[in-house]
Structure 1
């Protein structure tokens, strides 16, 4: 039973991808042809042109996985790895890292959702236990 599924997925996955791409291309074509000629006075497009537009947009704008807005985005495994590295740094190394990141971000503290006093801080990786020890 398992071998049948193994073989079947090599056929099913490409067919599913082709069906999904075709459906998205059809939707792009319909939206373009029903909206843009009246709004922007452009010509209509074919199915293949719609597929090309969709693929081009994916290449240019990325395939996006979503995620949290602001500075805290990214893959969870990358965030955990960064937390571990930051935790293992000495206070001098942490300050050096913060200075380097401030320099890379052109001193953008306070500009946008991920920066400054309202956004994430570099030392927010400390656990509650570490904070409680400090308070005592």
Structure 2
């Protein structure tokens, strides 16, 4: 019986802390929106409840509800390793080089590999 009370207190405490953190985060979003965006971009100010709604909306649009992000990355990595396992060494190197080139094009100070160095 004592062990059960311990876990009930933990769950209730965690729930209260989670709600308090969410409330504080919504308050911060409201302050930032009203203090920065209303001044800079000339948008309307938001209420506390609208700020909370913006948090939920941003979670849906950008975060999703797929649980742990690490699991998604792990599955993607395993899937890519399986695809690469069926290729020859030359084909794997060709794909790796293509991805290196794609990633390097976003670097600001990257050197173009096509131009000869002097």
Q: SS in structure 1 opposite 2:86?
A: helix
Gaps (5+ residues) in structure 2? 105-118
In structure 1, C-alpha distance between the alignment counterparts of 2:48 and 2:24, rounded to whole Å: 10
Find the partner of 1:94 among 74, 81, 86.
86
| Whole-Å separation in 1 of the counterparts to 2:68 and 2:34 | 28
Aligned length: 93
Q: 2:102 aligns with which of 97, 100, 111?
A: 111
The residue number in structure 2 matching 1:22 is 23
Q: Structure 1 length normalisation: TM-score? A: 0.52
Match of 1:61 in 2: 62
- Equivalences for residues 41-52 of structure 1 within 5 A: 41-52=42-53
Partner of 1:4: 5
Give the Cα separation in 2 of the matches to 1:39 and 1:45.
15
Displacement, 1:108? 4.8
Per-residue CA distance 1:91-134 (angstroms, 9 max, x = gap): 9x5217x77xx6xxxx9532116xxxxxxxxxxxxxxxxxxxxx
TM-score (norm 2): 0.59
Deviations, residues 35-75 of structure 1 (Å, cap 9, x unaligned): 111101111110000000011111111169788xxxxx924
Higher-helix-fraction structure: 2
In 2, the alpha carbon distance for the partners of 1:53 and 1:65 equals 22
